[in-house]
Structure 1
């Protein structure tokens, strides 16, 4: 018979988690608005002012601040050449590619060859982005009226920014709803300085929003729909396939391979339906993204760049080195997942795999932090740790712009190579710090924020509470909670 104490504990676990109850930094910061939520505070809030609507307004405000930060570039920096756009840390690819990829002259992405006089690189003859990102850019170009080159590029940036703001709102909503007991975790996205500063540098936020939506659907036990969204996300960026890798490892351990196969099938069908028409009708244009990625040299942000510049020799074979390192890191992460006494949560494993890609790749663009942001919130929803990591990323963001100011300008401003190498090291150390905490949480679940509250894996969908059937190490000693088999 259930005791009164057990019923009270069950009721507590059904209530939404208030950040000021469990996060010391959130509790201290709440002094600015009157202190931590009291015992009689309304959990659900006003009928209109619920957590979700508050967070949507917050992310719109932060996004607008990020756009305002680029005001000096909007008025002149993008168009006058030199290092002004880097000195003011307001660079964006979007206005530059409006002309350089043929949108200003109504070239059709993938089908129309970009004239050599227009392209910014002799190796780029077609749009070098995946198909769905190309469609995103093309829609923004349809919304851009033709006028003077500067005015059209400005409007193109505004049109893209408006569409990316919708992606930012969708991202916050999906993260807030993924764990029903932790709606306020979306605030970790909405108030993110990394999101505000990098959202309009490139088009990565589109793929990030699709990944967040896929994670939400998987958490609600819809593997087919989740797979479709993963496939669509992979049509915008390559990294979302790592979500399938994380699901494979976890479904293998939990004996839920049928659900993984359903997700894989949905992803494959979505990817083929989007890519096949372009692949058949414009094969050279479709292949540009893949050949460009393969042939790209060691570039900014990568620790491979430090090795190359410190040695003074070109780093040949970097593709093989980067691939080997990624495989090695992935194998280590898989071993941790299969040997740990308790199965990792989906957010933890997906974060580690994407972080491995970021660490091992031959280039790190500053907006890649967006790939990690929602996964980091799902993996380690702690304000202090996320702000430390993002602080390192913001320092790197400043570092890359100052390095480019030094390279493109008069060398009176910016960072030397040695100083820029230090900025790369700060970025890597910040990411490794967060990875270390996530690995500790996996190996020692008593440190895991969610499992301290009695949850298993609310993001895991059919994995939540499932018993393990395949473990390489000692079978878990902690109790497992049986969950009904998903669809």
Structure 2
């Protein structure tokens, strides 16, 4: 080898970017293995077939019973042969796995196993994508909160949420790299899998309004709409009744376990506990929180970071939703960490989420006639319901404080603006609400102005 031969440095920029991904990917795989092991009493002990034991062993999943509930055991195709209460991304995955396991012994168990394999891969991919995003903020190891969060291990394989999480994070990684059409495509796929990523367009719109970076926003919006329509249109044309089941079911269902509305109804609060006003109350309360977030985004002296607004709007959606399942914690973990990577409020929230996870199953046992002594009652259960709502509100309060006083934001230290913000990073303000008297001439101008 000649003296002039170039040998890449093991500490070069590529190596520094890639090396943290290897252990983080392995730790994400460990998290998936632990989540699978947590379901062992049901997967290997048969507790799924006992309506009490699956709760007492804390190993319930939606995936296994849906093999029968969605008529997959009868060979019926989702939407075409049977109406499915999930968006087409999940229904299509059901159909693929159905075809793979249809001729096997115990196909319901195999349906669970193969679905979990897809979710495990989604978790690993999601962790690696989040590591890339956190790396832009100079903190790749914050991703450990997603790979090994206690609440993640408990809830990872209850439903299909991890797939949507990977798609959503992928969209923001594409956005951060200014690949706006790709960001839109991934968001379209995410919305076709779970509906909640639709709320992320609020932060993107507000920051585009403040910075006038409309070109990026519109390309992302076009990619999202085109992809969502392309994925959904065949089902809308050829299986409309089956396709609309998800939207009809979502609008018609009442307050479910875990939601604050369920508490209000069970305690018969005036107005807030009125089941006939539930949809209106949910929409209005979410709208009020979104309006407050919009005012904050447009009036804050320093433009908020994209992840801060995404966290706030997603938290608002969860807290005001009439459904708040245990696995919804998976939606929020990456955005909570990217918005404010402070371990104390995150740990407090994780404790609350874990307590809710155990409480909901014991509550479902306690409301079964004859099993009251094995479970818990309303009072204990509702401490868990309010526990996670309050801890999320605490995290939101800290994020709002960081927005209003960016010197407390650990991401913005050293003159950093918004590393994940893509075109918003370092952009000048063009539209800002002024809610106070004009700034004195000798007062410093905020960073983003």
TM-score, normalised to structure 1's length? 0.84
Please list the CA deviations of residues 40-84 of structure 1 after superposition, one character each: whole Å capped at 9, or x if unmatched: x97989899921000000010111011101100112444432311
1:472 to 2:433 alignment: yes
1:307 to 2:275 alignment: no
Aligned residue in 2 for 1:245 = 202
CA contact (8 A) 1:188 1:383 kept: no
Q: 2:191 aligns with which of 215, 234, 248?
A: 234
Are the structure 2 counterparts of residues 363 and 49 from structure 1 closer, same or farther at C-alpha, using a change threshold of 3 Å?
A: closer
Q: What does 1:356-375 correspond to in 2, within 5 Å?
A: 356-375=316-335
Aligned residue in 2 for 1:96 = 65
Q: 1:159 aligns with which of 94, 106, 114?
A: 114
**CA–CA distance in structure 1, aligned partners of residues 304 and 202 of structure 2:** 14
**CA–CA distance in structure 2, aligned partners of residues 422 and 250 of structure 1:** 37
Q: What does 1:188-267 correspond to in 2, within 5 Å?
A: 188-267=145-224
**CA–CA distance in structure 2, aligned partners of residues 182 and 417 of structure 1:** 41
TM superposition shift of 1:427: 1.1
Q: What does 1:252-291 correspond to in 2, within 5 Å?
A: 252-291=209-248
CA contact (8 A) 1:204 1:371 kept: yes
CA contact (8 A) 2:302 2:447 kept: no
Q: 1:445 aligns with which of 406, 410, 413?
A: 406
Q: 2:391 aligns with which of 415, 430, 451?
A: 430
Tell me the SS of whatever aligns to 1:298. coil
TM superposition shift of 1:334: 0.6
Are the structure 2 counterparts of residues 48 and 93 from structure 1 closer, same or farther at C-alpha, using a change threshold of 3 Å?
A: same
TM superposition shift of 1:186: 2.0
Please list the CA deviations of residues 213-240 of structure 1 after superposition, one character each: whole Å capped at 9, or x if unmatched: 0010000011111011111111011111
Aligned residue in 2 for 1:61 = 30
Are the structure 2 counterparts of residues 42 and 261 from structure 1 closer, same or farther at C-alpha, using a change threshold of 3 Å?
A: closer
Please list the CA deviations of residues 245-295 of structure 1 after superposition, one character each: whole Å capped at 9, or x if unmatched: 110001110110121111111100000000011001011001000000000
Are the structure 2 counterparts of residues 362 and 480 from structure 1 closer, same or farther at C-alpha, using a change threshold of 3 Å?
A: closer
**CA–CA distance in structure 2, aligned partners of residues 213 and 236 of structure 1:** 14
TM superposition shift of 1:152: 1.8
**CA–CA distance in structure 1, aligned partners of residues 117 and 302 of structure 2:** 43
**CA–CA distance in structure 2, aligned partners of residues 80 and 188 of structure 1:** 33
**CA–CA distance in structure 2, aligned partners of residues 170 and 147 of structure 1:** 29
TM superposition shift of 1:142: 2.4
**CA–CA distance in structure 1, aligned partners of residues 259 and 156 of structure 2:** 21
CA contact (8 A) 1:93 1:201 kept: yes
TM-score, normalised to structure 2's length? 0.91
1:457 to 2:412 alignment: no
Instruction: Note the residue ranges of structure 1 that are not aligned, 5 or more in a row.
Output: 1-40, 114-125, 482-487
Aligned residue in 2 for 1:405 = 365
CA contact (8 A) 2:359 2:376 kept: yes
CA contact (8 A) 2:129 2:170 kept: yes
CA contact (8 A) 2:122 2:166 kept: yes
CA contact (8 A) 1:253 1:471 kept: yes
1:169 to 2:129 alignment: no
TM superposition shift of 1:456: 0.6
TM superposition shift of 1:102: 1.2
Are the structure 2 counterparts of residues 213 and 48 from structure 1 closer, same or farther at C-alpha, using a change threshold of 3 Å?
A: closer
Are the structure 2 counterparts of residues 315 and 142 from structure 1 closer, same or farther at C-alpha, using a change threshold of 3 Å?
A: same
Q: What does 1:83-122 correspond to in 2, within 5 Å?
A: 83-113=52-82
Aligned residue in 1 for 2:297 = 337
CA contact (8 A) 2:48 2:60 kept: no
**CA–CA distance in structure 1, aligned partners of residues 448 and 51 of structure 2:** 60
TM superposition shift of 1:143: 2.6
**CA–CA distance in structure 2, aligned partners of residues 456 and 289 of structure 1:** 40
